[in-house]
Structure 1
Amino acid sequence: MKVVVQRVLKAKVSVDGQEVNSITKGLCLLVGLHKSDQQSDINYMVQKILKLRLFDKDEKKWHSSVVDMGYEILSISQFTLCYKLKGNKLDFHYAMPGDAARQNYQYFLESLKKSYDETKIKDGVFGGKMEVEIVNDGPVTVQLETSEKTISEQSRECQDDV
Structure 2
Amino acid sequence: MTVSFISCLLLLTWVSWTDIRYRRIPNYLVLAGIISGFLIHRQEPEIALAGLLGCFMLTVLFSIIGFMGNGDIKLSAALGAILGYQTGSEVIFYGVALCALAISLYMALKGQFKELVTQNLLTVKYLFKGNIKLYIQQLKAQGKIFALPLAPFFLPGLIIREAFNWLF
Both proteins in one fold, TM over 0.5: no
Higher relative contact order (CA 8 A, sep 6+): 1
Q: Which has the higher strand share?
A: 1
For normalisation by structure 1, the TM-score amounts to 0.28
